[in-house]
Structure 1
Amino acid sequence: MNLKAFLNALTGKQESKDIAKERLRLVLVHDRATVSPEFLDKIKEEMISVISKYLEIDETKTEINMHKSDGTAVLEANLAVKAIRRNA
């Protein structure tokens, strides 16, 4: 961080390029967090496919959600594990 950026951070001032970057980042996060149900279903299928090699999953109790938290897109996966596959 250079001196100017440091002083701007201390005073709460931002340069217009920094403001533009932050706005673009927020737009991209919003686009990523706003996904179709079909997209989430595809993620769920693929995650279950991979994880099922190691764990027996109850697909009816598995939930995949995407939301925003502190300006970041968050993918939450709640997987109901029936058993661990010891032979994996």
Structure 2
Amino acid sequence: MDFSKLFSNKQSSKVVAKDRLKLILIHDRANISPELLENMREDILQVISKYVVIDDSEVEVRLTHTQEVEGSSPALVASIPIKYMK
């Protein structure tokens, strides 16, 4: 029995491919291009940087979806590590 897969933190290629497909579908449904998402990321970081020092290398901004009463809606999710307050 191969225990390496059981205790591995690595996701299977099937899971990674499924997640990528979901992300592509969400982008298409929200009509947000990768360029627009990157512009939004830069604007958000610029505003936040006025108040805190952030770790640019660990910033993640992505589009996902939320479950609403009448269906799912696009949602912008940002993970921005803060080093310290200014």
Scaled by the length of structure 1, the TM-score of the pair is 0.56
Residue of structure 2 in register with 1:42 after alignment: 39
Number of matched pairs: 57
Query: What's the C-alpha RMSD, in Å, of the aligned pairs?
Result: 2.1
* Residue segments in structure 1 that go unaligned for 5+ positions in a row: 1-28
Which deviates more, 66-75 or 52-61?
Answer: 66-75
Q: Which TM-score applies when normalising by structure 2?
A: 0.57
**Aligned with 2:32: secondary structure?**
coil
SS class of match (1:35): coil
Which protein has the larger Cα radius of gyration, Structure 1 or Structure 2? 1
Structure 2 unaligned blocks of 5 or more: 1-25
Contact 1:33 / 1:74 at 8 angstroms: preserved in 2?
Answer: no
Task: Render the CA deviation track for 1:13-61: whole Å, top value 9, x for unaligned.
Answer: xxxxxxxxxxxxxxxx975634222111111100000000001011110
Counterpart in the other structure of 1:19: none
Identity of aligned residues (%): 35
2:77: which partner in 1? 76
- Residues 47 and 61 of structure 1, relative CA distance in 2, 3 Å threshold: same
Runs of 4+ in 1 over 4 A off after TM superposition: 29-32
